[in-house]
């Protein structure tokens, strides 16, 4: 397990083992989730994906591919935010430089 920005990233092997435990007795899903330290909703999702995939394939959602327009919008927003931060830092630098004289 890896920690990732407030969320835990579980290995595919861990997910498959958890799903195997649920398949033995689906009525115990909440107990299994609690024992493994996983949210019951996450375990339920992994189990449903495994059923849909017939036990084959990954149990994680594939990464979303952004269109060129979406990526452009995202980059423009990020650029605006970075420019604002830069301007704030410039003003703060000028302020503190004046104060230190």
Match 């003003």 to its residue by tokens: 91
What is the per-residue pLDDT for 59? 59
3-state secondary structure at position 49: helix
Q: Residue 29: name the closest of 13, 18, 16 by CA.
A: 18
Higher pLDDT pick, 60 / 28:
28
Write the secondary structure of 13-30 as one string of H (helix), E (strand) and C (coil).
HHHHHHHHHHHHCHHHHH
Which bin fits 54, alpha (ψ -120 to 50), beta or left (φ > 0)? Answer: left
Residue 3 has pLDDT above 80, yes or no: no
Q: Write the pLDDT tens digit of every residue in 36-48.
A: 999 999 999 988 8
Match 């919008």 to its residue by tokens: 73
Secondary-structure class of domain 2-53 per CATH? mainly alpha
């Amino acid at each position: 397990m890896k920690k990732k920005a407030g969320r835990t990233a579980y290995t595919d092997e861990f997910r498959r083992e958890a799903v195997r435990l649920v398949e033995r007795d689906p009525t115990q899903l909440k107990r299994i989730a609690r024992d493994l330290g996983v949210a019951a909703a996450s375990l339920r999702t992994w189990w449903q994906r495994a059923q849909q995939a017939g036990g084959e394939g990954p149990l994680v959602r594939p990464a979303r591919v952004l269109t060129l327009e979406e990526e452009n919008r995202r980059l423009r927003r990020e650029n605006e935010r970075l420019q604002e931060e830069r301007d704030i830092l410039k003003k703060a630098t000028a302020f503190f430089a004046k104060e230190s004289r």
